[in-house]
């Protein structure tokens, strides 16, 4: 027996073989057919062999051991296409000596190890980098010599039972040929990290049997060339006609365009009807024109400095490489609606937004299989590796509340981020490592080979449709110019850019290849270039006269909605008939007969039922549930997501009831009417930006559902600041995209310390402008109810920021009567004095405030029996109710006006509201001309960490507010 054989059987593999054999003895069917055959073939000798395996005293101790045989490396029915034929194997081994059989088994086993190594690490020797800058040294595990194969072993048949799509047996030469082509060509595949055997087997079969290569037809190849000609031609043309203008060109990554086209085309064949795309700056103009079919003329007009929006449209607009677009594209007679989401500069921030949109579209189509709507996210390599939102979005991909059935990620990996090289941009070997958190397959591909790019795009689309999971294409390419076209890359990467300068363009490389293979002639390529040039020249000529004549908003799902009307006309029809309120209220308190409620919850429900029946003392959570329930009964879907939102952070909501005997769930809001819309409440994963972005996206595709995101505590929303700044507050102004998202932000000073007190109201007020959204601080359940219903019962949509309560959830005075939800009621922007005080002329001070501090002031004023200080609540801070406030303040001609807040002076509403109160007072002719501040002094942290200090501070500010003079 040869030394290697001995080492294989008796080295680290021995326990494995022994274990297999034990299994075989117990039940021959318990081992794969190949091993069964092998053990059978050993016949009489098997006990001797196994005895030796178990521990011949002379067995070398791990010498030249290449690792234990892993069951993964063995052919199973799933990972080979030729059914194992035990009889054939037995025949092959028949009449062989023990030594022969053992040699055959040894060959087979080490070959499987070799094959497995290629499946795992073949990508490390793939030819991925067009510039040849990334050079992986030969990998030991990919060298047959590591497995004991020598020069003489290459042409001997080895039993491999159909693995790799080869026959029952193949020579090492054949095996290596297939492995090198499949795993080390222009495509490198990472998929062995996937634990699902079906997914893994599918990829294996999809690539191995065809050596990871599609044989395109002549027409197919010409079509790919045309896409590349157009992609390159447009960038070149822009470079010449608009010298130095930023366009974040695709030059070097042109294969993106045929790749995306392939995804759409193959997607269409596999049932996709709607595609939502998110992408960064790089190649965006090319995508807009060649994928979204925006006209060259419109693009050139923007390059000439004209707006993309019709003249009468308001708003800031945005730079051309952030704009969105949509189009109906036709592929083989199938129409696919494709929309490119507008996005901010902030890389990867658009990801969750796109996912949310896709989810909304699936819900609209009733696409439970998630086979009709697909998201494509494009990325830069540096951003994909660096931005946390990538991981947050990936993490959403298989969660019930956020699943969209898989996203195709396409990375334009130009191996640089601005001036930063991969060595400084990431710690992992590839920019794609993060995708492994969801076990996504990763297809690395050389961007200089457009056919390989189209090939992997097709596989990615098929995988997505088959398994409804994310998959990543990592297209290695380069960036021909600087980060933008006026940037000098030689300052920082001289070597790389010398290499690039001498490197043929993607078109030159591909056209050259097709010419050499006789698919096109040089003259035809010249003709393609010339035809494009004529088109571009014509479009440029027309650009001077181009006028965008319509903005594509308020179409499709948004049809029927209008531009927001003036200040006074915004109440909406939010009141609900009392019987309806009671019917919904009763449903909230009911569970199926057999349902075993938690006893405390049962008691709470009893109390809730009482408040509904008596129409008194309706608390916050009930007010909210009535808003949800009445909307649902009226056919408006309601979607709420946030951390622990089902129960509610403060154990107040209990929208999902849990059977104490079996964990079964019951959601009363889904049983409020015979025919009703769906209530979806989702306990979100522990991230803010990803989930908030998702809900913003959902809401921007579905104006007819009440969509809410809830922060655990309001200040945690600052982890999602990019979504707030870049999308929610400014999306309508930048991109003409209305949005009705609601943000629920628990806020209030209750002695819980710096991090649980403030929802940073000041941030939202500072961002308020141009009628962009609404910021409210409701202090009654009924007003909250109306604020929520108002979102859906008006002809326009604006985001709603709500400071929601914590202690007020259980405050005896923070309650409403049922009548306050009933006929004749609506949202109140300002709540006037409620108590019987002295005559208005005798009122010496009016305290204006918002939120929880009102209840502290009210209680103390009652306690002190003060009757010359009035208290009014400003329930909506933005848009500011100037007129209403003026009317109310003019009732108190002799009063000074105080703004009282519990937040420090540099926070809360003060900076925002002082000038507004002043303006409201300016034309009233009353004594007060501007407000006096009463609240905590300015402070670096929002609140004290000491509960005792908090109580003292709070008592002090209430005292000052109620002390005249
Ligand atoms: C969140 C964020 N940080 C910084 C930037 C500034 N910036 C714009 S592009 C860029 C480089 C991006 O590199 P990569 O993702 O590889 O894309 P490429 O430009 O190379 O296509 C940087 C740092 C940004 N736009 N967004």
Count of CB atoms within 10 A of residue 595's CB?
A: 16
DSSP 535: H
Q: How far apart are CA 950 and CA 40, in angstroms?
A: 81
Specify the residue for token string 């579905």: 702
Helix spans in 29-158 (H): 33-42, 46-55, 86-93, 98-121
User: What's the pLDDT score for residue 686?
Assistant: 98
Specify the residue for token string 């709420």: 640
User: What's the pLDDT score for residue 66?
Assistant: 28
Pick the atom of ligand 1 nearest to 417's CA: 13
Provide Rg for the chain, Cα atoms: 34
Q: How far apart are CA 61 and CA 628, in angstroms?
A: 71
Relative to beta strand 373-380, strand 471-476 is: unpaired
Pick the atom of ligand 1 nearest to 348's CA: 1
Strands (DSSP E) found in 332-459: 334-340, 373-380, 407-413, 442-446
Identify the segments of the chain with pLDDT beneath 50. Answer: 1-12, 44, 49-85
Pick the atom of ligand 1 nearest to 431's CA: 16
* Helices and strands in the chain, H and E counts: 32, 24
What sign results for the dihedral spanned by CA atoms 479, 484, 486, 490?
negative
Ligand 1 geometric centre to CA of 380 (Å): 7
For residue 723, what are its two tokens? Answer: 């979504």
- 211: exposed, middle or buried (Cβ count in 10 Å: 0-12, 13-18, 19+): middle
Ligand 1 geometric centre to CA of 185 (Å): 30
Strand partners, 474: 411, 444
Determine if ligand 1 sits within 6 Å of the CB of residue 381.
yes
**Which element (helix H / strand E) includes 791?**
helix 781-792
Q: How far apart are CA 165 and CA 81, in angstroms?
A: 6
All residues at 6 or more sequence positions from 384 whose CB lies less than 8 Å from its CB, including other chains: 348, 390, 409, 411, 431, 432, 434
Q: How far apart are CA 823 and CA 575, in angstroms?
A: 5
User: What's the pLDDT score for residue 569?
Assistant: 77
Ligand 1 geometric centre to CA of 842 (Å): 63
Specify the residue for token string 């195709």: 408
Pick the atom of ligand 1 nearest to 425's CA: 16
Relative to beta strand 169-171, strand 869-874 is: unpaired
- Return the closest-CA partner of residue 785 out of 662, 626, 639: 626
Strand partners, 171: 157
Ligand 1 geometric centre to CA of 718 (Å): 22
Distance from CA of residue 333 to its chain's centroid?
31
Determine if ligand 1 sits within 6 Å of the CB of residue 347.
yes
What sign results for the dihedral spanned by CA atoms 235, 237, 242, 244?
positive
Distance from CA of residue 690 to its chain's centroid?
6
Ligand 1 geometric centre to CA of 347 (Å): 6
Determine if ligand 1 sits within 6 Å of the CB of residue 282.
yes
- Return the closest-CA partner of residue 831 out of 878, 764, 876, 781: 876
Asked if residues 934 and 961 have their Cβ atoms less than 8 Å apart, the reply is yes
Output the residue whose Cα is nearest ligand 1's atom 19.
417
Output the residue whose Cα is nearest ligand 1's atom 20.
417
- Return the closest-CA partner of residue 847 out of 917, 924, 943: 917
Helix spans in 415-555 (H): 422-425, 450-467, 494-501, 506-516, 522-543
Determine if ligand 1 sits within 6 Å of the CB of residue 482.
no
All residues at 6 or more sequence positions from 165 whose CB lies less than 8 Å from its CB, including other chains: 80, 81, 82, 178, 205, 208, 209
The DSSP-derived string for 460-496 is: HHHHHHHH---EEEEEE---SS-SSTT--GGGT-HHH
Asked if residues 181 and 213 have their Cβ atoms less than 8 Å apart, the reply is yes
Helix (H, G, I), strand (E, B) or coil at 888: helix
Tell which phi-psi region holds residue 648, choosing left (phi > 0), alpha (psi between -120 and 50) or beta: left
Pick the atom of ligand 1 nearest to 483's CA: 19
Instruction: Supply φ then ψ for residue 405, to 5 degrees.
Output: 85, 25
Determine if ligand 1 sits within 6 Å of the CB of residue 414.
yes
For residue 526, what are its two tokens? Answer: 């010249």
Helix axes 86-93, 98-121, angle to 10 degrees: 130
Determine if ligand 1 sits within 6 Å of the CB of residue 383.
yes
Determine if ligand 1 sits within 6 Å of the CB of residue 412.
yes
Strands (DSSP E) found in 118-270: 157-159, 169-171, 187-190
- Return the closest-CA partner of residue 468 out of 564, 359, 389, 370: 370
Determine if ligand 1 sits within 6 Å of the CB of residue 380.
yes
All residues at 6 or more sequence positions from 357 whose CB lies less than 8 Å from its CB, including other chains: 276, 339, 341, 375, 697, 698, 700, 701
Instruction: Supply φ then ψ for residue 253, to 5 degrees.
Output: -120, 30
Pick the atom of ligand 1 nearest to 386's CA: 15
- Return the closest-CA partner of residue 823 out of 586, 484, 449, 573: 573
Ligand 1 geometric centre to CA of 411 (Å): 13
Determine if ligand 1 sits within 6 Å of the CB of residue 420.
no
Pick the atom of ligand 1 nearest to 384's CA: 15
User: What's the pLDDT score for residue 11?
Assistant: 43
Ligand 1 geometric centre to CA of 92 (Å): 60
All residues at 6 or more sequence positions from 668 whose CB lies less than 8 Å from its CB, including other chains: 587, 588, 589, 590, 591, 655, 657
Q: How far apart are CA 920 and CA 912, in angstroms?
A: 13
User: What's the pLDDT score for residue 100?
Assistant: 82
Pick the atom of ligand 1 nearest to 479's CA: 20
Asked if residues 33 and 86 have their Cβ atoms less than 8 Å apart, the reply is yes
The DSSP-derived string for 288-303 is: HHHTS---HHHHHHHH
For residue 658, what are its two tokens? Answer: 């849990």
- 198: exposed, middle or buried (Cβ count in 10 Å: 0-12, 13-18, 19+): exposed
What is each CA distance from 633 to 534, 576, 581, in whole angstroms?
A: 59, 11, 10
Determine if ligand 1 sits within 6 Å of the CB of residue 246.
no
Q: How far apart are CA 632 and CA 626, in angstroms?
A: 10
For residue 709, what are its two tokens? Answer: 């995101």
């Amino acid at each position: 027996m040869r030394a290697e054989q001995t080492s294989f059987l008796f080295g680290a593999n021995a326990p494995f073989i022994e274990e297999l054999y034990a299994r075989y003895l117990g039940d021959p069917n318990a081992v794969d057919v190949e091993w069964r055959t092998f053990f059978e073939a050993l016949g009489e000798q098997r006990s001797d062999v196994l005895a030796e395996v178990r521990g011949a005293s002379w067995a070398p101790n791990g010498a030249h051991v290449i690792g234990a045989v892993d069951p993964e490396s063995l052919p199973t029915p799933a990972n080979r296409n030729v059914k194992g034929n035990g009889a054939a194997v037995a025949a092959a081994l028949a009449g062989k000596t023990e030594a022969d059989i053992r040699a055959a088994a040894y060959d087979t086993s080490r070959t499987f190890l070799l094959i497995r190594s290629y499946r795992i690490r073949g990508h490390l020797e793939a030819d991925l980098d067009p510039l040849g800058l990334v050079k992986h040294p030969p990998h030991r595990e990919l060298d047959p010599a590591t497995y004991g194969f020598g020069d003489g072993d290459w042409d001997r048949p080895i039993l491999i039972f159909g693995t790799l799509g080869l026959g029952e047996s193949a020579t090492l030469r054949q095996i290596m040929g297939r492995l090198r082509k499949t795993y080390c060509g222009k495509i490198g595949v990472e998929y062995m990290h996937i634990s699902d055997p079906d997914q893994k087997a599918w990829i294996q079969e999809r690539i191995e049997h065809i050596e990871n290569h599609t044989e395109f037809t002549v027409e197919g190849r010409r079509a790919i060339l045309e896409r590349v000609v157009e992609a390159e031609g447009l960038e070149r043309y822009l470079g010449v006609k608009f010298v130095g203008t930023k366009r974040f060109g695709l030059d070097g990554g042109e294969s993106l365009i045929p790749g995306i086209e392939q995804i759409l085309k193959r997607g269409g064949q596999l049932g996709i009807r709607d595609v939502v795309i998110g992408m960064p700056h790089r190649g965006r103009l090319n995508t807009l024109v060649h994928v979204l079919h925006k006209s060259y003329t419109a693009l050139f007009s923007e390059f000439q400095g004209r707006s993309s929006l019709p003249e009468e449209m308001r708003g800031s607009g945005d730079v051309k490489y952030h704009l969105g677009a949509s189009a109906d594209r036709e592929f083989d007679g199938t129409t696919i609606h494709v929309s490119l989401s507008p996005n901010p500069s902030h890389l990867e921030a658009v990801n969750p937004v796109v996912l949310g949109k896709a989810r909304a579209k699936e819900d609209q189509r009733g696409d439970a299989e998630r086979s009709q709507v697909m998201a494509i996210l494009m990325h830069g390599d540096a951003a994909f590796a660096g931005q946390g939102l990538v991981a947050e979005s990936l993490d959403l991909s298989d969660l019930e509340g956020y699943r969209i059935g898989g996203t195709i990620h396409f990375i334009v990996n130009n191996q640089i981020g601005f001036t930063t090289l991969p060595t400084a941009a990431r710690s992992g070997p590839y920019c794609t490592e993060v995708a492994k958190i969801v076990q996504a397959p990763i297809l690395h591909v050389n961007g200089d080979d457009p056919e390989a790019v189209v090939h992997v795009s097709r596989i990615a689309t098929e995988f997505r449709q088959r398994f409804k999971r994310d998959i990543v294409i990592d297209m290695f390419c380069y960036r021909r110019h600087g980060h933008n076209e006026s940037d000098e890359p030689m300052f920082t990467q001289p070597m790389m850019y010398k290499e690039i300068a001498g490197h043929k363009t993607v078109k030159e490389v591909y056209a050259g290849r097709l010419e050499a293979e006789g698919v096109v002639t040089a003259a035809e390529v010249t003709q393609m270039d010339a035809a494009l040039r004529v088109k571009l020249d014509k479009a440029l000529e027309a650009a001077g006269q181009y006028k965008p004549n319509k903005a594509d908003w308020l179409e499709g799902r948004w049809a029927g909605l209008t531009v927001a009307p003036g200040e006074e006309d915004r109440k909406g029809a939010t009141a609900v008939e009392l019987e309806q309120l009671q019917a919904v209220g009763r449903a909230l308190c009911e569970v199926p007969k057999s349902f075993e409620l938690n006893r405390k919850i049962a008691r709470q429900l009893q109390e809730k039922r009482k408040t509904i029946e008596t129409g008194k003392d309706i608390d916050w959570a009930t007010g909210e549930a009535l808003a949800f329930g009445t909307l649902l009964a009226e056919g408006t879907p309601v979607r709420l997501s946030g951390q622990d939102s089902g129960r509610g952070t403060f154990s107040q909501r209990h929208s999902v009831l849990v059977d104490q005997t079996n964990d079964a769930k019951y959601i009363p809001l889904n049983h409020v009417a015979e025919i009703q819309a769906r209530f979806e409440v989702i306990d979100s994963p522990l991230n803010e930006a990803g989930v908030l972005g998702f809900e913003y996206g959902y809401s921007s595709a579905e104006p007819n559902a009440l969509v809410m995101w809830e922060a655990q505590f309001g200040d945690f929303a600052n982890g999602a600041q990019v979504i707030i700044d870049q999308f929610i507050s400014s999306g309508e102004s930048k991109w003409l995209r209305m949005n009705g998202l609601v943000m629920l932000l628990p806020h209030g000073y209750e002695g819980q310390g710096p991090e649980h007190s403030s929802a940073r109201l000041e941030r939202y007020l500072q961002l308020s402008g141009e009628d962009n959204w609404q910021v409210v601080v409701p202090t009654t359940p009924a007003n909250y109810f109306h604020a929520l219903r108002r979102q859906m019962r008006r002809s326009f949509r604006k985001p709603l920021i709500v400071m929601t309560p914590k202690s007020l959830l259980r405050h005896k005075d923070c309650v409403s009567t049922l009548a306050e939800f009933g006929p004749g009621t609506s949202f109140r922007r300002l709540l006037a004095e409620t108590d019987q005080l002295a005559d208005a002329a005798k009122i010496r001070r009016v305290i204006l405030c918002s939120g929880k501090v009102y209840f502290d002031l009210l209680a103390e004023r009652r306690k002190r029996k003060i009757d010359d200080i009035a208290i009014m609540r400003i329930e909506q801070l933005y848009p500011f109710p100037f007129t209403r406030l003026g009317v109310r303040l003019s009732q108190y001609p002799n009063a000074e006006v105080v703004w009282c807040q519990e937040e420090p002076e540099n926070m809360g509403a003060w900076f925002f509201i002082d000038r507004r109160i002043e303006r409201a007072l300016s034309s009233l002719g009353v004594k007060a001309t501007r407000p006096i501040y009463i609240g905590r002094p300015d402070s670096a942290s929002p609140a004290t960490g000491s509960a005792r200090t908090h109580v003292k501070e709070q008592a002090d500010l209430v005292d000052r507010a109620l002390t005249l003079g």
